[in-house]
Structure 1
């Protein structure tokens, strides 16, 4: 158990051994689906419990050690990106859902878990805390989780088939859910922070999410309506009020990315009963 072992080297040895075994064994397991059927759920649970350990990191952990541990977490996500998601058709759907939940949780959990609540204190008193807490955010890990969701959120083949196409709907839905939560949380935290700016990773994350929304909208509008589920369009439209709420942000970086994202909604805003060339009957 991460951070729960008497010796920190124990869990490092365990996860490195697991990654070595998986890199060799996953191709075999994919070909022997029946023989390894019961393994997938246990694997999903193991990865989730490692990445989101119930044991907090030691208070004495240095920034360098924290970054080292984050790099190991990123290796796990890299394994998911390279050896699991491209072969989703060969694995149980329950396992793929678990993996998507890990990516979704990772991109959210890592960006908000260390945020300092300022409801009971003056903003000026917490400015130092914002800076000091920034290193606690698993910024690279969160970015890799989000990029992996984004990578598997695009339909790459016109017939909607293929290994990547099989998880497109699940990835898009998870991505949009994650984006909405980040938007909502950012506005709440910025309001609570008063005159004290949010940590740099939060600003970067917000800009990254807004750019991802813009990219996703462009891709969805170019995709054949028959390949985009109605539930996805509903989630896209549900994002709009959250985006409008972000217009109160005082960050120039966020406002620029927000403007670009809102402009992509222009083709979706049509009078009732009319159709556009990109939406057709998908709504």
Structure 2
């Protein structure tokens, strides 16, 4: 079944150039409906499914969430080619399954905990990819601004990082895998690199994300006292 999903969502053949905008939008809506099916009818019941299948589904979502930036030039201004709604649906699904906070769900030995860990890893990897690529492409573009869709995507990712950190800080810390904090902290240098971004929309979202790191800046002696 995972192979069928992959073939349907990521066909090897390119989109025919004869398709109208409306036809492309209809195709994308169908892809989004498949992601919704995965979100509502498959992932909530992952405990009764083979681990390999769940891993492949999470890999598909991760691939879908980065599909827009991996298949288009940073100077491509034809937003409809970027499958924005499809990428957003994949990303939001990863985000949703990163917020399972019950103690049993966050233990590595539990099925839900394994799913949460996979979702978090995919989500944070996706964020890292977007941050780095946006900064690189903005530098290459010189005075030419990036497409509006890229700015929107960047803002969405920064908002997701903010929401994720807020949720992790609210959770009972014994239920949060320490490696999750390591992954969150590893995003910080990439966020700092974004400070040179020219878009006010991106900068506003960036500020909110950076503010959330304030509570993570613990002096070294306190880390030692806390046994960290």
State the TM-score, normalizing by the size of structure 2. Answer: 0.92
Alignment-derived partner of residue 135 in structure 1: 80
C-alpha separation between the residues in 2 aligned to 1:65 and 1:114? 19
C-alpha separation between the residues in 1 aligned to 2:64 and 2:203? 25
Is 1:98 equivalent to 2:60 in the alignment? no
Structure 1 residues 186 and 116, CA, compared in 2 at 3 Å: closer, same or farther? closer
C-alpha offsets along residues 95-136 of structure 1, whole Å, 9 cap, x if unaligned?
11111111111010123412246xxxxxxxxxxxx33x2210
Aligned match of 2:139 in 191, 205, 226? Answer: 191
C-alpha separation between the residues in 1 aligned to 2:27 and 2:105? 38
Aligned match of 2:202 in 251, 254, 260? Answer: 254
C-alpha offsets along residues 58-83 of structure 1, whole Å, 9 cap, x if unaligned?
12221111111101111110110010
1:224 CA displacement: 2.0
CA contact (8 A) 1:85 1:164 kept: no
Alignment-derived partner of residue 271 in structure 1: 219
Is 1:242 equivalent to 2:190 in the alignment? yes
Alignment-derived partner of residue 155 in structure 2: 207
How many aligned residue pairs are there?
A: 224
List runs of 5+ in structure 2 lacking aligned partners. Answer: none
List runs of 5+ in structure 1 lacking aligned partners. Answer: 1-42, 118-129
Alignment-derived partner of residue 68 in structure 1: 26
1:146 CA displacement: 0.6
C-alpha separation between the residues in 2 aligned to 1:275 and 1:224? 18
C-alpha separation between the residues in 1 aligned to 2:8 and 2:178? 35
CA contact (8 A) 2:105 2:111 kept: no
Alignment-derived partner of residue 180 in structure 1: 128
SS in 2 for 1:273: helix
Aligned match of 1:160 in 102, 105, 117? Answer: 105
CA contact (8 A) 1:106 1:145 kept: yes
SS in 2 for 1:153: coil
Structure (1 or 2) with the greater helix fraction: 2
1:156 CA displacement: 3.5
SS in 2 for 1:188: helix
1:225 CA displacement: 2.2
Equivalent runs, 1:228-239 vs 2, <5 Å: 228-239=176-187
C-alpha separation between the residues in 2 aligned to 1:116 and 1:55? 22
**What RMSD, in angstroms, separates the aligned Cα atoms of the two structures?**
1.9
CA contact (8 A) 2:101 2:171 kept: no
C-alpha separation between the residues in 2 aligned to 1:58 and 1:93? 36
Is 1:113 equivalent to 2:61 in the alignment? no
State the TM-score, normalizing by the size of structure 1. Answer: 0.75
Structure 1 residues 156 and 230, CA, compared in 2 at 3 Å: closer, same or farther? closer
Alignment-derived partner of residue 125 in structure 1: none
CA contact (8 A) 2:191 2:210 kept: yes
1:275 CA displacement: 4.2
Structure 1 residues 163 and 87, CA, compared in 2 at 3 Å: closer, same or farther? farther
